[in-house]
Structure 1
Amino acid sequence: MSVRGEWVELGDGLRGYYARPEGAGQFPSVVIYIEAFGLNEHFKRLTERFADAGFATITPDLYDGAVYAYDDLPNALAHLKRMDDDTVLARTEKALDFLAAREEADWTSVAVIGFCMGGRYAFLANAALASRFKAAAAFYGGGIGPVEDAFGRKTLLERVGDMQAPIQLWYGAEDPFIRPDEHGRIAEALSRAGKQYTLSVFPGATHGFFCEDRESYDKDAARKSWRATTAFFHEYLGS
């Protein structure tokens, strides 16, 4: 990667990691939601990777500097439990306002993407902040459509009617946290609401398959989903 990112201030004490493509001109934009482990080196690289792919990209630090190792699941989940949807959405608007103030970023062409905990937030933001996004992608977002959420959060299927932008959903067939019956509930809700979506499941892949720093990394699934997601974003945001 040739692009290097930087820490920026988003307002009200919120920081984010930002990277922009090289060269002049306005670029379509991306907001990234982190996993439950914080804004770590993987997400810095991912922010830069999206910039290399042609997007002005901001990853808000929803954990305010806290980062957990991938084998420290208890503390990561304890932090996740303290997260509040309304606060996250308000902080998302801070990230969007930051993009709107950047001369090189096209704030009218923004996509949202998230992974794990962030996959749920990407799904939520695509409904709650529908007018702000033109495309969305959710990677193994836990808590979107379970019968009962393990962390007591509201499931999100009743929000699909508010969505305007098309959405991609990516899952691993062997994910122990998000099983096929949940895929079915999500697809049914989106179809009944008449929304544009794709739901893809990779055989043999499990939770966290996209992250190269996790034991669950699946190189083939990560490569295919990256290629499809960036093409999808370019199609709906413009190059």
Structure 2
Amino acid sequence: MSARGEWVELGGGLRGYYARPDGAGPFPCVVIYIEAYGLNDHFKRLTERFADAGFAAVTPDLYGGATYAYADLQNAIGHLKRMDDTTVLAQTERTLDFLAGRAEANGSAVAVIGFCMGGRYAFLANAALPARFKAAAAFYGGGIGPAQDVFGRETLLERVGDMQAPILLWYGAEDQFIRPEEHGRIAEAMSRAGRQYTLTVFPKVTHGFFCEDRSSYDKNAAERSWRATTAFFHEYLQHPVSSRVLR
């Protein structure tokens, strides 16, 4: 049976799209970060898909209702440039507080996931809010470890030592926005800090491979990463990694 999602108020004027499994719960939770194109139909379906997989899932509408067609890269990037990390982290905390207030949601067992722009936010939130997450996944997160961020944002590798939750990192080998040398910088920073991570690069796959509405969609990579990520989330939300491992 497919879960039905709904728009909800998350606090402070922030809305989100929320879906939950049938039953009383409490269910493990997932916070989902959008791509640069906004909270569109793909992310509504993804929220419901996580609910079908056994999670109380919520996607905060970081764009305040704005969405952009996948062909409209110019305006999507223009909106991305106006985003502020401090504001997004505050919105994330409102989202987490929303989950903590839901009887069917286990607010102490939360994972975070993001795609493209949202992949960077998932990586950032895992470092900036380490007490709030038990697992994380970042899909082709642009801006995590570039030599210099093209949008002038803070790069994030100096923050990896603050992470406590393990993280999955998913990339395509043909992604022209995130090149192999960035994979290397991320892996080196994570390993030097003693953090738990898995970095996977799919061959012959490019940016946006997970989204079925984009021309870059790759069914094999999307299905494999979905199965691995949901299994990973279930494992670590039910049996959180000991903080002693990551210190």
Unaligned runs of 5+ in 2: 240-247
Per the TM alignment, residue 2 of structure 1 is displaced from its structure 2 partner at its CA by 1.5
- Matches of 1:95 and 1:58 in 2, distance apart? 8
- 1:25-44 equivalence runs, <5 A: 25-44=25-44
Aligned to 1:134: 134
RMSD of aligned residue pairs (Cα, Å): 0.8
Identity of aligned residues (%): 81
Question: Is structure 2 residue 160 aligned with structure 1 residue 160?
Answer: yes
- Matches of 1:58 and 1:129 in 2, distance apart? 17
Question: Is structure 2 residue 50 aligned with structure 1 residue 12?
Answer: no
- Matches of 1:2 and 1:153 in 2, distance apart? 38
Question: Is structure 2 residue 234 aligned with structure 1 residue 234?
Answer: yes
Per the TM alignment, residue 119 of structure 1 is displaced from its structure 2 partner at its CA by 0.1
Aligned to 1:96: 96
Give a deviation string over 1:95-141, Cα, whole Å, max 9, x none.
Answer: 00000000000000000000000000000000000000000000000
SS in 1 for 2:4: coil
SS in 2 for 1:108: strand
TM-score (norm 2): 0.96
Unaligned runs of 5+ in 1: none
- 1:1-239 equivalence runs, <5 A: 2-238=2-238
- Where do 4+ consecutive residues of structure 1 move more than 3 Å? none
- Matches of 1:184 and 1:98 in 2, distance apart? 37
Report the count of equivalent residues.
239
- Matches of 1:15 and 1:175 in 2, distance apart? 32
Return the letter of the residue paired with 2:187.
A
Per the TM alignment, residue 42 of structure 1 is displaced from its structure 2 partner at its CA by 0.1
Return the letter of the residue paired with 1:152.
G
Give a deviation string over 1:50-96, Cα, whole Å, max 9, x none.
Answer: 00000000100000000000000000000000000000000000000
SS in 2 for 1:7: strand
SS in 2 for 1:158: helix
Aligned to 2:244: none
- Matches of 1:92 and 1:116 in 2, distance apart? 17
Per the TM alignment, residue 25 of structure 1 is displaced from its structure 2 partner at its CA by 1.9
